[in-house]
């Protein structure tokens, strides 16, 4: 790329210049990162371990947890390294990789959340046709389509961003964020802006319309259910998904479409944390809190693990002095 000869690396924004606060930031982000990893990996292992959870809904949930692990791993480890070493530099190729991966995982998460809404619609409104419509071929195709569309979109956005010429290497964000890269560009970014607006509006409107329409049919069907236990069971699977989708969409929209009056550096850092760090850590918590199937499966898996560990301990040779 032409601008690689001009800017060979970028300098990211640190959360603080004070050493004590840098260490505090490292410890806070390390805790958040480990909790997010353990929560999402636990969801994946629980679903893989329990055959009762080998259904389309939990297949998509396992994919969502995998995406969250990848999503948070793109930004948080680099930010922790910056705080620990006080080295804020990131290579040109590293910045390109961050932009591409963030766009890929964010797009795939939005697509999967849309597919999950459709899955709930079919399960609740068309239960007799569920296995016919949501067969495993259809599930794999929808998951693959989510990844492929997001990767193509990420490639387009990455190429259009890094074809620009940059006047400075200082990015006012703790990772390579596209709007912040535009601000340090010497090239006209109007094409990039219109491209993002067109793609985001198209994707968001399509996904939002599918989700709203799906839940419109779901809620109209739920209110026809006379059994309070039946309603509770339906809501136990729908409320977590709606909460996760609302959290992801609201934090993303606030970060990219907030008024100029709310464009300070500190608020920019805070909003970026909201949509890159908060969803991966909250998603497994939200799904686990209101899902009895996950609770029971995780409990069975933990009991089997402890029993296996106890058997190994009892059968291991003991040596006396």
**Whole-number Å distance between alpha carbons of 91 and 107:** 24
Q: Which residues lie closer than 8 Å to 231 by C-beta, 6 or more apart?
A: 222, 225
Q: Which of the four pLDDT bands, split at 50, 70 and 90, describes residue 312?
A: low
- Residue 238: predicted pLDDT: 75
Q: Yes or no: say if 265 and 180 are a contact pair by the CB < 8 Å rule.
A: no
- Residue 262: predicted pLDDT: 53
The answer to whether residue 175 scores a pLDDT higher than 60 is: yes
In a domain, 17, yes or no: yes
**Domain total of the chain:** 1
**Most confidently modeled range among 8-22, 31-45, 268-282:** 31-45
pLDDT by residue (tens digit) across 192-243? 888 877 877 787 788 888 888 888 888 888 777 776 766 676 666 677 777 7
In a domain, 305, yes or no: no
pTM of the full structure: 0.83
In a domain, 38, yes or no: yes
In a domain, 306, yes or no: no
Q: Range with the lowest mean pLDDT among 1-5, 102-106, 206-210, 316-320?
A: 1-5
**Proportion of the chain in helix, strand, coil states, percent, rounded to 5:** 80, 5, 20
The answer to whether residue 186 scores a pLDDT higher than 70 is: yes
Q: Helices (H), strands (E): how many in the chain?
A: 11, 2
In a domain, 321, yes or no: no
Q: Which residues lie closer than 8 Å to 279 by C-beta, 6 or more apart?
A: 68, 71, 109, 244, 247, 248, 251
- Residue 320: predicted pLDDT: 43
E strands of the chain, at which residues?
Answer: 9-11, 89-91
- Counting beta carbons within 10 angstroms of the beta carbon of residue 306, is it exposed (0 to 12), middle (13 to 18) or buried (19 or more)? exposed
pLDDT by residue (tens digit) across 135-159? 999 999 999 999 999 999 999 989 9
- Residue 289: predicted pLDDT: 61
Q: Please tell me which residue, 304 or 195, carries the higher pLDDT value.
A: 195
- Residue 66: predicted pLDDT: 93
Q: What mean pLDDT is predicted for residues 76-84?
A: 91
**For residue 9, what are the β-bridge partners?**
91
In a domain, 290, yes or no: yes
In a domain, 309, yes or no: no
The pair of structure tokens assigned to 160 is 């259009």
Q: 276: domain CATH number?
A: 1.20.1070.10
Q: Which of the four pLDDT bands, split at 50, 70 and 90, describes residue 40?
A: very high
Domain that holds residue 128: 2-294
In a domain, 301, yes or no: no
């Amino acid at each position: 790329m032409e601008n690689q000869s001009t800017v060979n690396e970028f300098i990211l924004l640190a959360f603080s210049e004070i050493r004590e606060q840098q260490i505090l930031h490292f410890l806070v982000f390390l805790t958040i990162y480990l909790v997010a990893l353990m929560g999402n990996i636990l969801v994946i292992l629980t679903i893989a371990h329990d055959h009762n959870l080998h259904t389309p809904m939990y297949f998509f949930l396992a994919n969502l947890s995998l995406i969250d692990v990848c999503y948070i791993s793109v930004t948080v480890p680099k930010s922790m390294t910056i705080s620990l070493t006080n080295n804020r530099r990131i290579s040109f190729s590293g910045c390109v990789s961050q932009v591409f991966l963030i766009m890929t995982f964010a797009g795939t998460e939005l697509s999967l959340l849309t597919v999950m809404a459709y899955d709930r619609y079919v399960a609740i409104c068309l239960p007799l046709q569920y296995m016919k419509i949501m067969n495993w071929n259809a599930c794999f195709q929808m998951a693959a389509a989510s990844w492929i569309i997001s990767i193509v979109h990420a490639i387009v956005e990455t190429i259009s961003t890094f074809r620009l010429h940059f006047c400075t290497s200082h990015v006012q964000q703790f990772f390579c964020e596209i709007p912040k890269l535009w601000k340090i560009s010497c090239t006209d970014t109007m094409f990039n802006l219109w491209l993002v607006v067109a793609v985001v509006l198209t994707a968001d409107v399509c996904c939002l319309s599918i989700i709203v329409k799906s839940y419109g049919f779901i809620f109209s069907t739920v209110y026809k259910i006379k059994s309070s236990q039946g309603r509770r069971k339906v809501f136990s699977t729908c409320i977590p998904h709606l909460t996760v989708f609302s959290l992801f969409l609201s934090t993303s929209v606030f970060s990219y479409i907030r008024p100029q009056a709310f464009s300070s550096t500190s608020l920019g850092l805070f909003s970026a944390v909201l949509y890159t760090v908060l969803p991966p850590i909250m998603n497994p918590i939200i799904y686990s809190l209101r899902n009895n199937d996950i609770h029971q499966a995780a409990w069975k898996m933990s009991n089997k693990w402890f029993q296996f560990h106890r058997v190994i301990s009892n059968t291991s040779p003991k040596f006396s002095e």
